[in-house]
A and B are shown apart, each in its own frame.
Chain A
Amino acid sequence: MDKTWNNKAWFMVLPVLLLVAFSAVIPLMTVVNYSVQDTFGNNQFFWAGTEWYAEMLHSERFHAALLRNLFFSFIILAIEVPLGILIALNMPRKGWGVPVCLVLMSLPLLIPWNVVGTIWQVFGRVDIGLLGRTLSMLGINYNYVQNPLHAWVTVIVMDVWHWTSLVVLLCYAGLVSIPDAFYQAAKIDGASRWAVFRYIQLPKMNRVLLIAVLLRFMDSFMIYTEPFVVTGGGPGNSTTFLSIDLVKMAVGQFDLGPAAAMSIIYFLIILALSWVFYTVMTNYDAER
């Protein structure tokens, strides 16, 4: 749609601008403020320059958390996206099955995040949880509190449980928008099931898949509540992701300077990723 040039449209954007500026810009400036100062208490601050940034960028702890988080996001995407596509392809297209599937599958998305954590914490416990009990009856010495590998598997399975439905819903929305004529043409050409998927369904899902991948990446990159409730970042530091580390540093140890510097670096990474997302999306829109 070609849009008219009208600078008065700014007035319509103004409420949003003020509201978001209040919740985003002012707090962010506070963080910037802390990141370049040092304090010895008593509300006395000293200029520290880029000291905290240098410290953060060379900090083993930050590198470890960043790597863990990237690895986690990668695993999440590698499991959830193919699984989501597979389920969406096999969902019913009409009849009573559609609303039932949609409602039941969206259910985990609507559960408060710490309740998701609580559900899995209970579910995985060896003494009272269905999963933990079953696994231990099968002779597996399952213990997510002490074994780092088990903690990781639990957190990943929990995230798959929580968020795969998002990918399913997006892919499903893409699939139902394909007109029947496409499938008829494929049938006449004698296309195989794989060819239909590769040349009709996948290109049509392109856009929603893009949204799915990027939303999942962003959200897994700032995951906090669920692993915090289940493992508390442990055992040791094995499931301490970036957000958990940040909150530990800022609220737990009250290291304002390093925490603020880490926030800014963290935010810049997110900003760069959002920019990629936005550019790809708008280019995609322009092509259509």
Chain B
Amino acid sequence: MSVAEDKLMAERKGKIDERSSMQNAQTALARTMRRRGEESRFWWLIPTLYIIFLMLPIYWLINMSFKTTAEILSTFSLWPVKPTLHNYAVIFTDPSWYSGYINSIIYVVMNTVISVLAALPAAYAFSRYRFLGDKHLFFWLLTNRMAPPAVFVLPFFQLYSAFGLIDTHIAVAIAHCLFNVPLAVWILEGFMSGVPKEIDETAYIDGYSFPRFFVKIFMPLIASGIGVACFFCFMFSWVELLIARTLTTTAAKPIAATMTRTVSASGLDWGVLAAAGVLTIIPGALVIWFVRNYIAKGFALGRV
């Protein structure tokens, strides 16, 4: 082995050492970085307290749902002394109760499907093309998301009466499009703008027609965006009551409206009321789980 080669090896080794020491320093730095917010060891206290604050009223509702109304009114306890499933049994056996859930689910699903299907091509147009009046149109859509439902209550009732659609699921589903379609367009546009335009162009060069490209290539690329849009349509249709209650009387009455009726009529059956409330929380909790990784991005209308 020549001296020159020896020297070269040593040099190389030195470089490697240097690099690894630099890497070590960097990981150490990164480790301290990771604890940036944790100078006080009690950083977790704030989210924990907040979650406790969020859970207390829900806990109280669940607690009440396992008590009989007599127990609720007579004894004050942090947990059910004689746990009972009676309240849930009432709901699952009485058609006027459980049909409320079925009605809600039907119009919510219809609304979600209509909103997202209509919003997909529109969002693509907004994210890829400029056209006459596009900005005004986008702004007009936005104003509908911001419009107070109270303004629309009376005219909606008259409009849907004129079409003979009062008390049908489709009426509520279309009425909820008022705020869900703009929202879906917004979210989808945000996600679509994140997909580089070159993908479209390459697909066209490869001989894809537009519909085939859209369904086969584009939609899988924004699958998470579609999921988030569905979630938000589901959510806002599920939580809305004012319009849904106005447009329905019996056959399509949503569960939330069934609850308000029972409060006033049947002498306040607190136990059943609590059980019905708990059951309205469950669908929401289930769908959150599926979109938990995208939920924040969705609330930012796809624009983080």
Chain A interfacial positions (CB closer than 8 Å to B): 1, 3-10, 12-13, 15-17, 19-20, 22-24, 26-28, 30-31, 86-87, 89-93, 97, 99, 101-115, 118-120, 122-123, 127-131, 133, 161, 164-166, 168-170, 172-174, 176-177, 180, 183-184, 187, 193, 196, 207-208, 211, 218, 221-222, 224-225, 229, 242-244, 246-247, 250-251, 256, 259, 263, 266-267, 270-271, 273-275, 277-278, 282
Contact = CB atoms under 8 A, between A and B. Distances in A.
Contacts of B36: 183, 187, 193, 196
Contact of A114 (B128, B144, B153, B256): B256
A128 B303 contact: no
Interface in B222-260: 235, 238-242, 255-257, 259-260
B109 interface: no
Interface residues of B, number: 108
Contact of B118 (A15, A120, A127, A174): A15
Contacts of B242: 224-225, 247
Given A23-B174, A119-B58, A211 B303 contact: yes
Interface of B: 29-30, 32-34, 36-37, 39, 43-47, 50-51, 53-58, 60-61, 64, 72-73, 76, 78, 114, 117-119, 121-122, 124-132, 134-135, 137-139, 141-144, 146-156, 158-159, 174-175, 177-178, 181-182, 185, 193, 197, 235, 238-242, 255-257, 259-260, 263, 270, 273-274, 277, 280-281, 283-285, 287-289, 292-293, 295-297, 299-301, 303-304
A101 B121 CA distance: 35
A266 B242 CA distance: 17
A3 B54 contact: no
B154 A19 contact: no
Nearest to B193: A1
A208 B34 contact: no
Contacts of A102: 288, 292, 295-296
Contacts of A91: 47
B155 A173 contact: no
Contacts of A7: 131-132
Contact of A122 (B55, B60, B138): B60
Contacts of B197: 1
Given A3-B128, A5-B129, A177-B304, A110 B154 contact: no
Contacts of A103: 285, 288-289, 292
22 contacts: A6-B131, A7-B132, A9-B128, A19-B177, A30-B158, A31-B154, A103-B285, A109-B239, A112-B280, A114-B241, A115-B281, A118-B277, A120-B57, A130-B57, A161-B53, A165-B54, A187-B29, A218-B146, A221-B148, A225-B241, A243-B149, A250-B150
A22 B287 CA distance: 29
Contacts of B39: 193
A170 B296 contact: yes
Given A1-B197, A246-B151, A271-B143, A12 B50 contact: no
A180 B30 contact: yes
A250 B56 CA distance: 37
Instruction: Give the dominant DSSP class at B's interface.
Output: helix
Given A16-B119, A102-B292, A224-B242, 20 more contacts: A8-B131, A9-B129, A28-B152, A30-B158, A31-B154, A108-B54, A112-B255, A113-B239, A113-B241, A123-B56, A130-B78, A131-B57, A133-B76, A169-B295, A211-B299, A218-B146, A221-B148, A222-B147, A250-B150, A278-B142
Contacts of B124: 12
Contact of B270 (A128, A166, A273): A128
Contacts of B150: 222, 224, 242-244, 246-247, 250, 263, 266
B60 to A, nearest CB: 5
A9 B125 contact: yes
A271 B151 CA distance: 13
Given A22-B174, A112-B241, A169-B296, A87 B46 contact: yes
Nearest to B122: A16
B129 A129 contact: no
Contact of B61 (A119, A273, A282): A119
Contacts of B297: 173
A91 B47 CA distance: 6
Contacts of A184: 29-30, 33
Query: What 3 A-B pairs come out closest when comparing CB atoms?
Result: A110-B284, A173-B296, A27-B155
Contacts of A218: 146
A258 to B, nearest CB: 12
B303 A87 contact: no
Contacts of A263: 150-151
Contacts of B156: 23, 27
Nearest to A22: B174
A110 B235 contact: yes
A273 B50 contact: no
